[in-house]
Chain A
């Protein structure tokens, strides 16, 4: 270092050094607790190998996403834009559409793919952001329950829909 023009100016900053913290309860023999990061990797971190589940989940997100783009945009066009727009949607319209197996399959596919896509996505978010193991278990339990319920109910309605109901 060839520079001799050192200026010490720690007081002017308004931020005092750590040492000026006053009467501290901590000392070399009694150090403050350090802040551990969430879920640290240790030697014992389990090799919780669950086969290829994560691989399939990852692939499913990509593939279902591509298919959903087609399905959802088609769905929105039919429902909201083509043939009179949103005004036409009513019981009769839905009944007429579900008379055709093509739309039944379309809606079924959309239901399953969208629900599973959303569930896997939310599962990822829960895994990323829920720190405590318990929170994870509960959030994911809630998520899976809601998913199973919605998928089963939707499937049931598509297949057992009776246009002559009332």
Chain B
């Protein structure tokens, strides 16, 4: 079937379509292998697949059946581990949550590594600067009480609701690597680190909110946010990232002024 047909075929009126759901797709992948060439280049893979499958299935097909040298990260393959964020048709998405039929498969589907981080090979980037920013906001519970607790730290449903949105982060880096400020200056904390700071700053059980706010008040902290909403658009978990950043800004302002 050369014709990519997305619409349902009216209850199988056309017999040709009823048998085979497959369409021909072209994956245009940005390849880089430092052991072969210093230049990255595009490579096309054309094959047939079900449009109801995901981009990750296409990448698997390439790696398993067409070209075993294609390198990419994936672990759970179900949108939880956050390892297969990539730039698909110019937008950061998880390959395992993007269906072929949703990204106009009649045209070549471009697949690149996420931007703003060092590309090590093909779609694999060095995530270390990203995780360094994450570590720098101290993403763990800190309490002033040094005694070991004898029971659970309880919290009301409303208190939990306060930071519910930012607990959803899977650290896939889709937001940080879609941020134009981060592209130009990797020392900016980036949306993901701020989201994870937000998760603890607004947690009623945590007692180091002040410290985290101080860290984000830094030159490379929340004030560099340009409110472009790229991060909110990119987030595969639908976290309202820009709103979270604004809430951190507001906390900083109301605390001191």
Give chain A residues whose Cβ lies under 8 Å from the Cβ of B101: none
Contact indicator per residue, chain A 23-52, by CB within 8 Å of chain B (1) or not (0) = 010111001111111111111010111101
- Quick check: B186 and A40 within 8 Å, CB to CB? yes
Q: Is B60 an interface residue (CB 8 A)?
A: yes
Q: How many residues of A contact B (CB 8 A)?
A: 49
Compute how far the CA of A48 lies from the CA of B224 in the bound complex, rounded to whole angstroms.
14
Compute how far the CA of A35 lies from the CA of B126 in the bound complex, rounded to whole angstroms.
11
Q: Is A87 an interface residue (CB 8 A)?
A: no
The answer to whether A10 and B44 touch (CB under 8 A), given A24-B36, A37-B116, is yes
The segment from A68-76, A104-112, A124-132 found at the interface with B is A124-132
Q: Is A142 an interface residue (CB 8 A)?
A: no
The answer to whether A10 and B37 touch (CB under 8 A), given A39-B185, A54-B217, A54-B219, is no
Q: Is B118 an interface residue (CB 8 A)?
A: yes
Q: Is A145 an interface residue (CB 8 A)?
A: no
User: Nearest Cβ in chain B — how far from A119, in angstroms?
Assistant: 16
Give chain B residues whose Cβ lies under 8 Å from the Cβ of A41: 129, 132-133, 136, 186-187
- Quick check: A21 and B36 within 8 Å, CB to CB? yes
The segment from A12-20, A94-102, A146-154, A158-166 found at the interface with B is A12-20
Compute how far the CA of A34 lies from the CA of B183 in the bound complex, rounded to whole angstroms.
16
- Quick check: B34 and A13 within 8 Å, CB to CB? no
User: Nearest Cβ in chain B — how far from A18, in angstroms?
Assistant: 5
Q: Is B42 an interface residue (CB 8 A)?
A: yes
Compute how far the CA of A47 lies from the CA of B137 in the bound complex, rounded to whole angstroms.
11
- Quick check: A37 and B117 within 8 Å, CB to CB? yes
Chain B positions 19-51 with a Cβ under 8 Å from a chain A Cβ: 22, 24, 26, 28, 31-39, 41-50
Give chain A residues whose Cβ lies under 8 Å from the Cβ of B136: 41, 45
Compute how far the CA of A55 lies from the CA of B185 in the bound complex, rounded to whole angstroms.
19
Give chain B residues whose Cβ lies under 8 Å from the Cβ of A5: 22, 48
Q: Is B247 an interface residue (CB 8 A)?
A: no
Question: Which of A8, A27, A57, A127 contacts B35, CB < 8 Å?
Answer: A27
User: Nearest Cβ in chain B — how far from A136, in angstroms?
Assistant: 10
- Quick check: A52 and B129 within 8 Å, CB to CB? no
Question: Which of A14, A17, A55, A129 contacts B184, CB < 8 Å?
Answer: A129
Contact indicator per residue, chain B 124-159, by CB within 8 Å of chain A (1) or not (0) = 001001001100100000000000000000000000
21 A–B pairs (Cβ distance < 8 Å), ordered by A: A6-B47, A7-B24, A8-B66, A9-B47, A16-B41, A16-B43, A17-B43, A18-B33, A21-B36, A26-B37, A32-B37, A34-B119, A37-B118, A38-B186, A40-B187, A42-B129, A45-B132, A49-B214, A50-B219, A54-B223, A129-B184
* 12 extra A-B contacts, CB within 8 A, seeds A9-B46, A12-B46, A40-B187: A1-B64, A6-B65, A13-B26, A18-B32, A33-B38, A37-B183, A41-B129, A52-B217, A52-B256, A57-B223, A127-B224, A128-B180
